[in-house]
Structure 1
Amino acid sequence: MIIQNVLADVITNQLKQQIKDKKVSVLLDEATDASNKKLLCILIKFIHGNEIKTHLGLKEVDCDHGIAKGLYALLKQSLTEFNIESKNVVGYCANNASVMMGSKESVKQYL
């Protein structure tokens, strides 16, 4: 309870301050866990001081988010949570799945 209700908020607020107005790179990948839930892994990298910092987030992918528009919505939600503007996303990496990198309907196209 202390970790979830106290420390998590402190760490999240520190991270928000570190990321504020920084250029970031985003790496996305989908995975299925042992309980057969689909998850979207969102890795955000940025430079703070002389260090490269990495933040990892997981979002559950339900039936409404399994397509490119839905995955982009989950990414956008995560960026909004950390006050990262889309214009500050300067790098994007994902596997070669059409939903991630396709030329017509993909997360890449929405970015």
Structure 2
Amino acid sequence: MNESIGDIVLEKAPKNAKYTSPDIKKNILNIISNQVRTMIRKEIGDAKFFILVDEARDASNKEQMTIVLRFVDIDGFLRERFFTIVHVTDTTAATLKKEISDALGRYDLYIHNMRGQGYDGASNMRGSWNGLQGLFLRDCSCAYYVYFFAHRHQLALTAAAEKEVSICYSFQN
């Protein structure tokens, strides 16, 4: 639908170019995800924000952490945006803090603008002295910790979905 893209991709591209190799697909997805994060950053503007973080092992047994941002937009509406998935070498509080700070810093989102943090009940996350909560509170005393209750709901829904055949089928398609 975009003439300039159509001209390059359809008219000037080699006729054998299919752009279907795994590396090309990953590059395209990286470009798109960076654009989405840039748009989220613009949407946040100078607003204060709240982070929701959870970590788990993926199918290949690697630790990964998701970061979701919650903020009030310029029109006064509460927004919640999935921001990124970060692969982490371990789940110590110090490593998680560094990775979160780095991921946010790449888009000029700074810890001193954080007004809340939400995690599950794992000790590396909620520990008030050496947990992620405590580490962020040392840098920003306004970043209050809230237990991430949605984590419990996700676990309950997953357990229910595994037992109910009709629910399993709806997620397979």
Give TM-score scaled by structure 1 length: 0.83
**CA–CA distance in structure 2, aligned partners of residues 23 and 46 of structure 1:** 7
Task: Give me the identity figure in percent.
Answer: 25
Runs of at least 4 residues of structure 1 off by over 6 A? Answer: none
Q: Aligned-pair distance for 1:89? A: 0.8
Q: Where do residues 88-99 of structure 1 align in structure 2 (5 Å cutoff)?
A: 88-99=113-124
* Alpha-carbon offset, residue 15 of structure 1: 2.0
CA RMSD of aligned residues (A): 2.0
Structure 2 residues without counterparts, runs of 5 or longer: 1-23, 137-173
Q: Which residue of 2 aligns with 1:54?
A: 81
Distance in 2 between residues matched to 1:72 and 1:79, nearest whole Å: 11
TM-superposed deviation, 1:6: 4.7
> Quick check: which one's helix share is greater?
2
User: For the pair shown, which has the larger CA radius of gyration, 1 or 2?
Assistant: 2
Size of the alignment, in residue pairs?
109
Instruction: List runs of 5+ in structure 1 lacking aligned partners.
Output: none
Structure with the larger RCO, 1 or 2 (CA within 8 Å, 6+ apart): 1
- Aligned residue for 2:51, secondary structure, equals strand
Q: TM-score, normalized by length of structure 2?
A: 0.56
| In 1, Cα distance between equivalents of 2:66 and 2:33 | 18
